[in-house]
Amino acid sequence: MAEHRPVAQNEDPVCGMTVDPAEARKKGLAREHEGREYVFCGKGCYLEFGDDPEAFLAVGYVAQM
């Protein structure tokens, strides 16, 4: 299992925005990866993460818009 940087439960791992997990789930903007949930600000980040989750969770990745 790859090493991941710390990402808060309410943090969009792609852009770094704070996201309300309940809202994200309602909108279908939450997904699971390796046993934990990640939430996203919008469809763009959701899809980007889906393409290559490890790239956004890699130690050294800096979340930015």
Rounded Cα–Cα distance for residues 29 and 8 (Å): 15
User: Contacting Zn ion (CB under 5 A), which of 24, 29, 41, 57?
Assistant: 41
Among 4-12, 20-28, 31-39, 46-54, which window interacts with Zn ion (CB under 5 A)? 4-12
- Nearer to Zn ion among residue 1 and residue 64 (C-beta): 64
- Nearer to Zn ion among residue 17 and residue 30 (C-beta): 17
| Four-point Cα dihedral 58, 54, 7, 9, nearest 10 | -170
DSSP H helices, 1-65, are 21-26, 43-51, 53-57
Q: Which residues bind Zn ion (CB under 5 A)?
A: 12, 14-15, 17, 41, 45
